[in-house]
Structure 1
Amino acid sequence: MNDKLKRISLLEFIFLIHGAQMGIGILQLPRELAEKAGTDGWIAIIFGWLLSTAMSLVIVQMMRFYPDGTLIDLIERYFGKWAAKIGALVFAAAYAFLTATVFFRAILFIKAFILPRTADSLLFLLFAIPTYLILRNNLRVLGRYSVFVFLMLLWMPFFYLFALKDSHWLYLLPVIKEGWWPILKAVPNTATSFIGFEMTFLLYPFLEKKQTASAGVIVANTLTMLVYVAITVICFAFFSPDGILDTNEPTLSILKVIEFHFMERLEIVFLAFYLFIVSTTWMPYLYWSVYCTNRLFGLKESSNVPLAVFLLSVFVLLLFYHPTFNENDKWQKLNSYANYFIAYAFPICLWGYLLVRRAIRGRAST
């Protein structure tokens, strides 16, 4: 933990969390919210932001019980070595499965919009090689990569402003037209879209100034919320309430109407750049899957053997298995169930246990 190369700044801490949240969910989120709450679905994003921010602060408070260790160290301290092994196994498997899901989704989008005749395994190599080169280094390199991608692609959301000239804001009125219940039903969709804040479990001990962790998670969640709300509202104003239900990825489809004299098929260019953002999702999860695997088998934290094995296994799998959008949708649902437990249920239960344990020890000492 004292290795300075593993320490990350507040900026890197923020964008590691924000990057983990900005995966593939934003491409489908407007349609999913419209299915549950109509054009009032954007309000559910604010509730999701409040929930994820509250849980992030809970995780920060919990990690203060053992500030110099990750979640695995915290479990080992309070529950024993075997409990830590089980925790490492669960996190390693869950994060590896989530990484594979994001990998396959990215490949499906590339084949659908850019390179339809390219083999899945070859496309995966385009992801695997830079992923290995970045993740084989320390956490600081990954943090700087997340900051670099954010700054490099800061211009992307502003392209949606060109769609405002063809938008109809009357689609959004009246607000809360069907009451609060449809909005509340859409909150679980937004709650999963904010998944990534639980990365605080593993990033906290590496943060240089731990007293800034609370501010960091609030800023990270707020950045994600602002992007989600802005793009969702623009999609709701552009598509009719019925039309958006027939569009699988409205975030991409809306770009088809934006034309420049020097550029055609803007959605293809946008998707190509968006893959950098998606990489800031799979890389942190894969990094921590490798970290937990090393802890599980007693390897050095710097060992890259699990990373190489995972990438090679996925490459071999794609030689024989060709995922489809429907199959990947099922994988995403399985991930959402696992994420509910890891990001919401588990922190509350663990924090409650730690508070009760402290209260009991306090009474015993008096």
Structure 2
Amino acid sequence: MEKTKEKLAPFHVMILIFMTQSGVMAFILPQLLADNFGTNGWASLIGFGLLATLNVALIGLVYKLGKGRSIFVILEQAFPKFLIFPIYVAVASLWTMIGCLAGKEYVMIFQMFAFPTTNPMLFKLVLDVLVFWLLTKGIYNISKAATIFFWLFFWMVFLLFFFYGEFQWARLTPFLFKGGKYEWMKNVDIYSAFLGCELSMLLFSYSNKRTKLIQSTMWANLITTASYVYMAIMLFGIYSLKQLQTKNFPVLDALAYIRFPFVERVENLFYGFFMFSAIFSVLLFVWSAKEMLHQIVPKVRGSAIGFIIMAAAYFIAMIPDILNEVGEWLSILSLIEIGVAFGLPVVLIVVLLIQNNGGKQAYE
């Protein structure tokens, strides 16, 4: 861990978690909602947002019961290291895979729309170099950089104002969840758009009461949910249900209709701005993996661990070479991550209840 007395600011935490959640899934979220839930599928996002809020509430209970102690301290006081270290490796590997494939998915979509003849791994290399550079700066500088990148990215939400003239309430219809082809696994894909808030567990050591870590994470999740709902309502009012169900990237298709007299193919510029969100979707997962592995080898410099993680992630990202395959990998990994996101806080809560009720801390 980074040895410094500086603590994260509430606003920076909120923006950092929001940028982590707001990843490439936004491109395809309206299509998934239409295909899975049918008419007014946007309304289901409220339920997914509440589920993410429950996840944050569990993390908040861990923070309260543990009195702000690091999750590593809590676990290592309850279990021997030979049992806990393999779990660290497994979870760090999971976060590394999610980060590297989220980055691969973004660059493949960007390459497909903007530079179809270029090898996507070249773009992935550029993205990874930037991620690694930020990774070496530490979580405090990462959180401050997230705030800068936020203003470069969030303004794109207001581009939806261009479509107010095309919006028709009649397309939403009075029917709720009709005409969809419900599949349970698609719920995992939809909820994966909210993943990232659980990584706030790794920020305990960098926070204090003034940080308001849990409140900031709650606000980040609320902003993410509101942004997704607003975007989905607009897309459901712009396209018919059948159109949404057949478009792979409805958000990008909508942006392609925007025209400025002084810029040609302005949609390519918009795709580039999504990179700022993609960077932090990768970055916080990789940073969290680095924190996990640093617990095992504390004498190794964090930058060296980060380099090994990024190098491994780059070569792993070469394996799936088509977009659908990347999506399938991410679906499986997201399902596992949902289990970690809810399961780890529950385990920590049980451990803390035992410890706080006089249970023995055998491995202090």
Deviation at 1:177, TM superposition (A): 5.7
SS in 2 for 1:257: coil
Deviation at 1:139, TM superposition (A): 1.0
CA 1:209–1:217 in structure 2 vs 1: closer, same or farther (change >3 Å)? same
Deviation at 1:157, TM superposition (A): 0.3
Residues 57-115 of structure 1, C-alpha deviation per residue, up to 9 Å, x if partnerless?
Answer: 21121133334543222211222323331331122111110011112112201220122
**Structure-2 residue corresponding to 1:165:** 165
**Structure-2 residue corresponding to 1:247:** 247
Deviation at 1:356, TM superposition (A): 5.3
Residues 276-327 of structure 1, C-alpha deviation per residue, up to 9 Å, x if partnerless?
Answer: 1110110111111112122223434x42112212333344566x65621111
**Structure-2 residue corresponding to 1:309:** 308
**Structure-2 residue corresponding to 1:325:** 323
SS in 2 for 1:16: helix
**Structure-2 residue corresponding to 1:355:** 353
Counterparts of residues 216-255 of structure 1 (less than 5 Å): 216-255=216-255
Residues 127-163 of structure 1, C-alpha deviation per residue, up to 9 Å, x if partnerless?
Answer: 1222222111221011011111112223110001111
Q: C-alpha separation between the residues in 2 aligned to 1:262 and 1:31?
A: 31
Deviation at 1:2, TM superposition (A): 8.7
Q: C-alpha separation between the residues in 1 aligned to 2:152 and 2:358?
A: 51
SS in 2 for 1:260: coil
Selected match of 2:339 from 314, 335, 341 = 341
CA 1:211–1:361 in structure 2 vs 1: closer, same or farther (change >3 Å)? farther
TM-score, normalised via structure 1 length: 0.89
CA 1:153–1:69 in structure 2 vs 1: closer, same or farther (change >3 Å)? same
Amino acid at match of 1:50: L
**Structure-1 residue corresponding to 2:32:** 32
**Structure-2 residue corresponding to 1:294:** 294
Counterparts of residues 154-233 of structure 1 (less than 5 Å): 154-176=154-176, 178=178, 188-209=188-209, 212-233=212-233
**Structure-2 residue corresponding to 1:127:** 127
Q: C-alpha separation between the residues in 2 aligned to 1:68 and 1:36?
A: 40
Q: C-alpha separation between the residues in 2 aligned to 1:167 and 1:2?
A: 49
Counterparts of residues 31-70 of structure 1 (less than 5 Å): 31-70=31-70
Deviation at 1:199, TM superposition (A): 1.0
Structure 1: any 5+ residue segments left out of the alignment?
Answer: none
Amino acid at match of 2:65: F
Structure 2: any 5+ residue segments left out of the alignment?
Answer: none
Q: % of aligned pairs identical?
A: 20
**Is the Cα contact below 8 Å between 1:37 and 1:183 reproduced in 2?**
no
Q: C-alpha separation between the residues in 2 aligned to 1:54 and 1:24?
A: 23
Deviation at 1:228, TM superposition (A): 0.3
**Is the Cα contact below 8 Å between 2:34 and 2:245 reproduced in 1?**
yes
Deviation at 1:359, TM superposition (A): 4.8
Q: C-alpha separation between the residues in 2 aligned to 1:239 and 1:221?
A: 27
Deviation at 1:247, TM superposition (A): 0.4
Q: C-alpha separation between the residues in 1 aligned to 2:186 and 2:43?
A: 9
Q: C-alpha separation between the residues in 1 aligned to 2:57 and 2:254?
A: 35
**Structure-2 residue corresponding to 1:76:** 76
Q: C-alpha separation between the residues in 2 aligned to 1:339 and 1:107?
A: 22
Q: C-alpha separation between the residues in 2 aligned to 1:331 and 1:193?
A: 15
**Is the Cα contact below 8 Å between 1:10 and 1:212 reproduced in 2?**
yes
TM-score, normalised via structure 2 length: 0.90
CA 1:297–1:146 in structure 2 vs 1: closer, same or farther (change >3 Å)? same
SS in 1 for 2:38: helix
**Is the Cα contact below 8 Å between 2:100 and 2:314 reproduced in 1?**
no
Q: C-alpha separation between the residues in 2 aligned to 1:120 and 1:314?
A: 15
**Is the Cα contact below 8 Å between 1:37 and 1:182 reproduced in 2?**
yes
Amino acid at match of 2:42: W
SS in 2 for 1:39: coil
Deviation at 1:165, TM superposition (A): 1.0
Q: C-alpha separation between the residues in 2 aligned to 1:265 and 1:10?
A: 38
Measured on the aligned residues, the alpha-carbon RMSD in Å equals 2.8
**Structure-2 residue corresponding to 1:87:** 87
Q: C-alpha separation between the residues in 2 aligned to 1:323 and 1:137?
A: 31
